[in-house]
Amino acid sequence: MVTIRIPTTLRTLTAGESEVQVEGATVAEALDALEAAHPGFAERLFDEDGNLRRFVNVFVADDDVRYLDGTGTVVPEGGEISIIPAVAGG
């Protein structure tokens, strides 16, 4: 099992839960399991080509998966994935 931390803006999909436990050895598997348990995540996280949207950051522990193996990044048993939407402003 891995824990996925859900940002406030997406908690409507998890009935207000800030963390969800899913099975998955990689980020892709975990996010697929998240989508299966709580439909609506895929369209918010991925673009039409199946890539993470530019304004969505996904971390395994403290590391941005864009600088690792993307959604193929291995998540250790008991690990944590954080979904962090980009913040813009001025």
What the chain holds in terms of domains, given with CATH numbers, is 2-85 (3.10.20.30)
pTM of the model: 0.92
Cα–Cα distance measured from residue 39 to residue 60, given in angstroms and rounded to the nearest whole number: 22
Residue given tokens 């590391």 in the structure block: 63
Residue given tokens 């673009």 in the structure block: 47
Cα–Cα distance measured from residue 83 to residue 13, given in angstroms and rounded to the nearest whole number: 13
* Mean per-residue pLDDT, 13-38: 97
The H-assigned helical ranges of the chain are 27-37, 41-45
User: Which residues neighbour 44 within 8 Å (Cβ) at sequence distance 6 or greater?
Assistant: 10, 13, 53, 56
DSSP, collapsed to helix, strand or coil, labels residue 26 as strand
Q: What are 46-57's pLDDT values in tens digits?
A: 999 999 998 999
Q: What are 33-84's pLDDT values in tens digits?
A: 999 999 999 999 999 999 999 899 999 999 999 999 999 999 999 999 999 9
